[in-house]
Amino acid sequence: MDFDLMFTSFPKLLGATVVTLKLLSVSLFFGLFIGLLFAILRLNKNIFINKFAYGYSYVFRGTPLLVQIFIIYFGLGQIEYLRSTFLWVILKEPYWCAIIAFTLNTGAYTSEILRSAFQTIKPGIIEAGKSLGISNKIIFYKIQIPIAIRQSLPAYGNEIILMMKGTSLASTVTLMDLTGVAKYIISTTFKPIEVFIVAGGIYLFMTFIIHNVIKYLEKKYSFQ
């Protein structure tokens, strides 16, 4: 065991953790909106809209995240037309490509989580709202969405942790996140175990925090 290396690499890895957290929070933020949008589209009665939303979540959940990042980072740059539009400002940056891929990926999973939460809401609750003369719009925003969010908390907590692990793939498109820096230190020092313990420890610590925050929220917003 090379404890010196563990001590010297810790601040470097901690600095890279900031990149990981940035990637995670930005993509979760946008992913939540996309997830909510597609969950609502899934509940739409129009078969085309419905199938479109289903197709989106099927494709993004059925393919590896790595493929999605590569298509966006390496693939989209190939389209000449895109290079001449303002989108190129975003698509030439690996940082934004990673965020787009993560957002679309977590959006697909989130849409499934929210859809099943919407579907488990008891019809009696909506009927009660209707019989009280509350408009459909308010029933949706004030009753269905809050209940669905509470229902989906445990599953969404898992999704956050999966996404946190997913951000490690940003290192494949030259971003120096926690895994990227860990790989760099490993390949220069050839001490994989020491670096794994430190980097893995940081990841586990983040998992622990996320897990407990979700647990706290579940308790706070429980029905009892």
Q: How far is the CB of 90 from another protein (least distance, A)?
A: 17
Rule CB under 8 A: say whether 200 interacts with another protein: yes
The single residue among 79, 90, 125, 138 that binds another protein, judged by CB under 8 A, is 79
Stretch that binds another protein, among 6-14, 91-99, 126-134, 193-201 (CB under 8 A): 193-201
Nearest partner of 72 among 37, 105, 100, judged by Cα:
100
Q: Does 75 engage in binding with another protein (CB under 8 A)?
A: yes
CA–CA separation, 74 and 169 (whole Å): 14
Length of the chain: 224
Percent helix, percent strand, percent coil in the chain, to nearest 5: 90, 0, 10
By beta-carbon proximity to another protein, the closer residue of 61 and 219 is 61
Among 204, 209, 212, 215, binds another protein (CB under 8 A): 204
Q: Which stretch binds another protein (CB under 8 A): 21-29, 38-46, 62-70, 125-133?
A: 62-70
Residue by residue, DSSP assigns 75-87 as IGGG-HHHHHSTH
Q: How far is the CB of 26 from another protein (least distance, A)?
A: 18
Three-state DSSP class for residue 42: helix
Among 64, 128, 130, 138, binds another protein (CB under 8 A): 64
Helices and strands (DSSP H and E) totals, the chain? 11, 0
**Distance (Å, rounded) from C-alpha 202 to C-alpha 6?**
12
Q: List contacts with another protein (CB under 8 A).
A: 58-59, 62-68, 70-71, 74-79, 161, 164-169, 171-172, 179, 182-183, 186-187, 190, 192-193, 196, 199-200, 203-204, 207-208
